[in-house]
Amino acid sequence: MNRFNIRKVFVWPAFKFGAVIGAVLMIVPGILWGLLTRESVRALRAFLESLGLLATASPDTAALVERIVNLDKMGPMLVIWTAVATIVLSGLLYGVAAAIAALLYNLIASLSGGLVVGAEMLAVPAPVVPTAPGAQPQAAPAQPQAAPAPSPAAAPAAVQPPVSVPAAQPQPGPWLAIGSPPQRSPVRPDRTRLGSAADNDIVLQGVNPYHAEIRFEDGVYVLYDMAAGQTWVNNRPVAGRNMLKEGFVIRLGGQEMIFRAG
């Protein structure tokens, strides 16, 4: 399982995510709140009618009584508008809370390096190429026949001089440029250990005995910190692991080097 650092959460997507969550969570409570509001207005109007305030209301309370009567006349629309207002307001509040949480996380991540999460790569099956209906399978290519042995009575053929085949040149691979002038230290295709111990692949002075490792995973090279936070990439502390690209500057303690892809 690979590990990744979450160093930044974008504020606008966080706001939209929080707004959607808040609106969805308040659909049922918003409808219930609308029904409760409708029944409360109806009960309040009945109470005012029992006191005779609808016809004899004073100028100070006439506006309030008229407002209650108008709300009661809305009927089911009062339920709908109350539910919609509750859902929208809840979405806005949740969105603002999510945006504030994203800002606080970014502030903390800039100081601590962010959360470390694990992700597992799933194997994707190879696509199956369909064959045309009625198509005949192709026959396997014929194996080359061995040349017949020359007859003893045959005349000897002219001997050709041996052709020299040039040796294959090794393909350039990733390496680390260490020191000034830079010293080329190759990176192994599987795992490269760096530290001051003599059994490391790259021995460095002034660092921990087993300070860091470079591993080839899922087609990329990844630097693992093994010195409890004393490893940096591009002047940023490595929290567990960090992917390497061409030109990335690595610092282990007091040693600085540059990763070259090839």
What pLDDT is stored for residue 50 in this prediction? Answer: 79
pLDDT digits (tens), the chain, 262 positions: 555 667 678 889 899 999 999 999 999 999 999 899 988 888 888 887 777 766 665 666 777 777 888 888 888 898 899 999 999 999 999 999 999 998 998 888 777 766 766 655 555 455 555 555 555 555 555 555 555 555 555 555 555 565 554 544 445 689 999 888 888 999 998 999 999 999 999 999 889 999 999 999 888 999 999 888 789 999 998 888 899 999 999 999 888 999 998 7
Query: Could you tell me whether strands 249-252 and 175-178 are parallel, antiparallel, or unpaired per DSSP bridges?
Result: unpaired
CA gap 179, 255 in Å, rounded: 8
Name residue, tokens 């009625």. Answer: 134
Domains and CATH numbers, the chain: 2-119 (no CATH), 175-260 (2.60.200.20)
User: Which residues are registered as beta bridge partners of 116?
Assistant: 5
Q: At what angle do helices 76-112 and 59-74 cross, to 10 degrees?
A: 90
User: Which residues are registered as beta bridge partners of 259?
Assistant: 176
